[in-house]
Chains A and B, each alone.
Chain A
Amino acid sequence: MFEIAINGKKYKVEAGETLLPVLLREGFDIPYLCFHHAVSPYGSCRLCIVDVAAGAKKGVTPSCTLPVAEGLQVETDTPEVIRIRKILLELYLAEAPGSTKIQQLAKKYGVESSRFSKMDITIKGDRCVLCGLCARVCSEVLGVGAINFSGRGVKTSINTPWYDVSSSCIGCGACAYVCPADAIDIITEGDERVMKTWHNTSLKLKECAASLEFFATEKGLDFINKLLTDFPDELKAKSPESRKIEFAKDFSLLPKKT
């Protein structure tokens, strides 16, 4: 444990941490898109930039990939950081004009309009900000890897192989859950979950044994149930809501911590 300086004040940090989680836990208002505690730092969105006044490398740096070190001094809102941040948000407004979340984020930091509006965003759609969280969660957390970055430069999109229906997607919906821009659409059609954004990949839904309501895809349940080794089968067949009711009745059903 040691101390670093943020905007002139000292803060305690642990060795091995990166700066952004420190800033967030200490209440600093730093915008970001591609950071998530569940996956490794990626450094693609560039919004979390700060100015390093003293440290291994001085100047504007993203805080999510910056390791804390003795002697580190950062400033979070220098005029230059603010200027760059605003132009980055202008870029994001044009990259994702259809995302209300992005519009809100931009407005929060004083950006109402964008000079970059002539961008061709047909390949990736009008909401995706290419932060990669969906792909990284699918790979790193789920270990499925059904979607990933495809193409190069302005033709980049997050996509499935051959931009077609996915054979490996398990329909868990983690991608939509972590997306900061509300860019992934999943709907229920009859007894199927349709991942509209992933070329209408459709997966059969399973009914809860108790409530008879659809609660997960069969493929997703097969996947997750393999990992739940110490879990009663009757509970595996029930939705989380129904399980809660069961647990409330009998605490001995809760899985034991090993």
Chain B
Amino acid sequence: MKIGTLSDVQKIKQKALQELFPKKIKLSVGLGSCGIAAGADAVYDALKKEVKKKKLDIQIAKTGCLGFCGEEPMVNLYKPGFPLLVLHRVTEKDVGNIVQVLAEGDIPQKKVFCKIEHVDNFVDSEELQFGKKLKNVPHSHDIPFYQKQKKIVLRDCGLIDPENIEEFIAVGGYSSLLKVLKNLSPEEVIKIVKKSGLRGRGGAGFPTGIKWEVARNNPGDKKYVICNADEGDPGAYMNRNEMESDPHMLIEGMIIGGYAIGADEGIIYARTEYPLAIERVNGALEEAKKYGLLGKNICNSTFDFDITIVCGAGAFVCGEETALIASIEGYSGRPRPRPPFPAQKGLNGKPTVINNVETWCTIPVVMAKGPKWFSQVGTEGSKGTKVFSLVGTVKNVGLVEVPMGITLKEIIYDIGGGGIQGRKVKAIQTGGPSGGCIPTALFDLPVDYEGLQKSGSIMGSGGMVVMDERTCMVDITKYFLSFTEEESCGKCIPCRRGLEYMRNILEDITEGKGKMSQIDELVEIASVVKQASLCGLGQTAPNPVLSTIQYFRNEYEAHIRDHKCPAGVCKPLIKYFIEEETCTGCHVCVRACPTGAVLGEKKKAHTIDLDKCIKCGACFDACKFDAVRVE
């Protein structure tokens, strides 16, 4: 089964397509971490059991994540002649009915979310085509969540079984690698990547082609490529999905990169907290070896290359490239001064290209479509697409891949569906704990590296947390600072002690003990930490402080001067009360209260005893008449 030529790949592809979309009904259950968390494991087991019990010729398979986490568990229904149907919110209880309906020759309409009639995987010249029936079912590209997306990196996620290399090949996988090995020199590969304008997707956005060129030009017979899979930003899980749903695209990208710079060894540094991703990547590496895509003389070429996985051990700072390298070398993950940069002197002092998972995953498409095509997607300074994790107080939660240059407004309202429960969106936090909070006034911003930087935030790895009037900007800043303070390696004093000091001030403010002079002091210390810290963790940790003071200073002032938390979050500064005119006396809040602080007779306006109230918010959540208020 060893692959030696492009025609070997084509042969496997033809055969595998017949199995990916067979001549029978096939149900593929979305088994990414989010799907599993929503109960997809149980759905998968139940489907297998039911189909066996009813002795039906229906194939039950695994697939990855289609990105719409809010609609999980999702199951793809393939029926020959029909468009690919996406079922949503499938529970164990639905399984019996679904199988029954299918056995009767029908479609379980109630569970259908949308249909897919064609898929462009960007590496094949032709799109995958499905049947064109069921006019009343919306097409996936008419669903607001999917409409403005352009799935280049996520091209195969949710369509193929991540544990089957042949399905990856069926959708064009490894064709780019073969074309590179047979037709291009390493220098030509680097030229293409440079021309494409691809910038690193890990957060810093350094031009990938230039990084590869520096590594290629640094002398030496031993070089490395590393994949930074230490995705540590809270709320960011793009890389997790990329590895769980399509591990082979990462491998293909790394082999091409290794070939380009002259490395014979690749290392994937993956955070231990991603066990499923590690399992799937490990499995994919084994398969790649079996098919002759890794090891000695890959695909009958003179190129040797192998990949191993090294696991992290719970340190956010190990996502910083020099700390990551130190960790692989067996030292504590503490950053080292740059220069020298890893491309000059990296792992074990050798030239090393270290790129994020998403950057590697983009490479096969860049090679297949060419630099001109790629540079036509996105903006002048930021080419291509970016995967974002859209989370927080937004209706449609999940992973979205959009062309650079789309506005925040489009992401939040068109794709995200706006605020939850009809509440007004107040801000969006981008770039994780290194990023800033952007207010609604700036939502017309095009999302790209420069645009986000101008607003006082950063692209980062792609986290996008939507916030509304119930998010306290001071509290959220305190949260981010507590995170970076905890994760600081401690090597340099501005980060080690500066973050601690700032977090203490924020605690004072959220507890009503703040002073107005402390707002300016936060800015003063923030600028020292930003400029004097040794690595990116310290240099960017003050960003949440600086951006919230810039755009939401009024909230800081309210906490300090008025002893109030406008969002109703900071417990020492809020009190719950019941609005007399609105209260119907339905007594639901009385039952919800854990301390007996709510008093009142049925059908008469209730009151809250502030001495007993612990501000848990149970009455607030329970009241259906909006009579319980916070101030």
Q: In residues 429-457 of chain B, which contact A (Cβ within 8 Å)? A: none
Min CB gap B581→A, angstroms? 48
Taking the complex as formed, is B500 at the interface, i.e. its CB lies under 8 A from any CB of chain A? yes
B490 with A152: CB separation less than 8 A: yes
Contacting pair B532 A151 (CB below 8 A)? no
A67 touches B339 (CB 8 A): yes
Given contacts A92-B493, A153-B485, 6 further A-B contacts (CB under 8 A): A46-B494, A62-B337, A80-B531, A149-B490, A153-B486, A154-B488
Residue of B nearest to A64 (CB): B337
> Contacts A59-B531, A130-B490; is A154 near B337 (CB within 8 Å)?
no
Please state if B488 and A153 are interface contacts (CB–CB under 8 Å).
Answer: yes
Which residues of B in the span 493-530 have a Cβ within 8 Å of any Cβ on A?
A: 493-494, 496-498, 500-501, 504, 524-525, 527-528
Does A44 count as interface, using CB distance less than 8 angstroms? yes
For residue B50, CB closer than 8 A to chain A, the reply is: no
Name A67's closest neighbour in chain B (CB-CB): B339
Nearest 10 interchain pairs by C-beta: A156-B490, A65-B337, A43-B337, A153-B488, A60-B531, A153-B490, A46-B532, A87-B528, A91-B493, A44-B491
**A49 at interface by CB-CB < 8 Å:** yes
A216 to B33, CA, bound (A): 61
Q: B488 and A152: CB pair below 8 A?
A: yes
**Interface members, chain A 134-153 (any B CB < 8 Å):** 149, 151-153
- CB of B315 within 8 A of chain A? yes
B492-A91 in contact (CB<8A) = no
The answer on a CB contact under 8 Å between A41 and B531 is no
> Measured between C-beta atoms, what is the minimum distance from B546 to chain A in Å?
16
Select B493's contact among A62, A130, A149, A155, beta carbons within 8 Å: A130
A114 CB to closest chain B CB (Å) equals 10
Q: How many A-B residue pairs have CB under 8 A?
A: 88
Q: Does B254 count as interface, using CB distance less than 8 angstroms?
A: no
B332 close to A (CB within 8 Å): yes
Q: Does B25 contact A (CB under 8 A)?
A: no
Q: For the complex, is A84 an interface residue (Cβ under 8 Å from B)?
A: yes
Q: Does A214 contact B (CB under 8 A)?
A: no
Inter-chain contact B334/A149, CB cutoff 8 Å: yes
Task: Decide: B500 and A154 in contact? CB cutoff 8 A.
Answer: yes
Is B489 among interface residues, defined by CB-CB distance under 8 A?
Answer: yes
Q: Does B618 contact A (CB under 8 A)?
A: no
Name B534's closest neighbour in chain A (CB-CB): A43
List residues 93-136 of chain A with CB under 8 A from any CB of chain B.
94-95, 116, 118-119, 129-130, 132
- Cβ contacts under 8 Å, A118 to chain B: 504
- Judged by a CB distance under 8 angstroms, whether A215 is at the interface is no
Q: Mark A76-94, 1 if CB is under 8 A from B, else 0.
A: 0000100110011001101
> Given A65-B337, A149-B332, A152-B315: A88 and B494 within 8 A (CB)?
yes
Give bound CA distance, A45 to B501, whole Å. 18
Instruction: Say which residue of B315, B339, B497, B534 sits within 8 Å of A154 (CB atoms).
Output: B497
Tell me if A154 and B493 are in contact (CB < 8 A): no
Who on chain A is nearest to B493 by CB? A91
Which B residues lie within 8 Å of A67 (CB)? Answer: 339
Could you tell me if A42 and B337 are in contact, using CB atoms closer than 8 angstroms? yes
A151 CB contact (under 8 Å) in B490, B498, B524:
B490
Q: Which of B334, B486, B524, B528 contacts A88 (CB 8 A)?
A: B528
Considering only CB atoms and an 8 Å cut-off, how many residues of chain B contact the other chain?
30
Is B487 an interface residue, CB under 8 A from the partner? yes
List the A residue with the shortest CB-CB distance to B334.
A149
A60 to B504, CA, bound (A): 26
Report the bound CA distance from A87 to B524 in whole Å.
9
Residues of A within 8 Å of B534, CB to CB, are: 43-44, 46, 62
- Contact A119-B315, Cβ < 8 Å, known A44-B534, A60-B531, A153-B488: no
CA distance A200 to B336 in the complex (A): 31
* B493 contacts A95, C-beta separation under 8 Å: yes
Docked complex Cα distance between A258 and B494 (Å):
47
Q: State in angstroms the CA–CA spacing of A132 and B315 once bound together.
A: 21
- CB neighbours (8 Å) of B491 from chain A are 44, 130, 132, 149, 156
In this complex, what residue of A is CB-closest to B317? A152
A99 to chain B, nearest CB (A): 14
Given contacts A62-B337, A149-B334, contact A88 B488 (CB under 8 A): no
Residue among A41, A56, A156 with max Cβ neighbours from chain B (10 Å): A156
| Shortest distance between the CB of B163 and any CB in chain A (Å) | 36
- Residues on the B chain within 8 Å of A132, using CB: 491
CB B424 to nearest CB in A, in angstroms, measures 37
Chain A residues near B339 (CB, 8 Å)? 56, 65, 67
Give the docked Cα–Cα distance between A88 and B532 (Å): 9
Determine how close the nearest CB of chain A comes to the CB of B329; give it in whole angstroms. Answer: 14
Contact partner of A119 among B337, B497, B533, CB < 8 A? B497
Whether B494 pairs with A91 at a CB distance below 8 angstroms is yes
B532 touches A41 (CB 8 A): no
Question: What chain A residues lie within 8 Å of B496 (beta carbons)?
Answer: 130, 153-154, 156
Structural contact, B532 and A60, CB atoms closer than 8 A? yes
**Looking across the interface, which residue of chain B has its beta carbon closest to that of A83?**
B528
Distance in Å from the Cβ of B417 to the closest Cβ of chain A? 39
Cα–Cα distance between A242 and B498 once the two chains are bound (Å): 51
> In the complex, what distance in Å separates the CA atom of A114 from the CA atom of B497?
13
Are B531 and A84 interface neighbours, CB within 8 A? Answer: yes
Q: Shortest Cβ distance from A143 into chain B, in angstroms?
A: 16
B485: which A residues are within 8 A, CB to CB? 153-154
**Cβ-defined partner of A116 (8 Å) among B336, B501, B527:** B501
Q: With the chains together, A62 CA to B531 CA distance in Å?
A: 10
Residues from chain A with Cβ under 8 Å of B337 in the complex: 41-43, 62, 65
Choice from A65, A84, A119, A149 contacting B528 with Cβ under 8 Å: A84
For B531, give the chain A residue with the smallest CB separation. Answer: A60
Instruction: Collect the chain A residues with CB atoms within 8 Å of residue B492's CB.
Output: 43-46
**A156 contact set on B, CB distance < 8 A:** 489-491, 496
* A119 and B500 contact, CB distance less than 8 A: yes
> How far apart are the CA atoms of A119 and B485 in the complex, in Å?
14
By the criterion CB–CB under 8 Å, are A45 and B332 in contact?
A: no
Contacts known (A46-B532, A49-B532, A59-B531); A91 close to B497, Cβ less than 8 A: yes
Cβ B498 vs Cβ A91 within 8 A: yes
Max count, chain B CB within 10 A of own CB: residue among A45, A84, A92, A118:
A84
- Chain B residue, CB-CB nearest to A43: B337
A-B contact pairs, 11 of them (CB 8 A): A56-B339, A84-B531, A87-B525, A88-B528, A116-B501, A149-B334, A152-B315, A152-B487, A152-B489, A155-B490, A156-B489
List the A side residues contacting B488 at CB < 8 Å: 152-154
Measured between alpha carbons, how far is A62 from B337 in the docked complex, in Å? Answer: 9
> From B487, which residue of chain A is reached at the shortest CB distance?
A153
Q: Is the pair B532, A84 in contact by a Cβ cutoff of 8 Å?
A: yes
Mark out the residues of chain A between 217 and 257 whose CB falls within 8 Å of any chain B CB in the assembled complex: none
Give the docked Cα–Cα distance between A42 and B339 (Å): 12
A144-176 CB contacts (< 8 Å) to partner B: 149, 151-156
Q: Which of B485, B531, B533 gathers the greatest number of chain A CB atoms within 10 Å? A: B531
Identify the closest chain A residue to B333 (Cβ): A152
A154 engages B531 (CB within 8 Å): no
Q: Which residue of chain B has the shortest Cβ distance to A151 in the bound complex? A: B490
Nearest A-chain residue to B489, judged by Cβ: A152
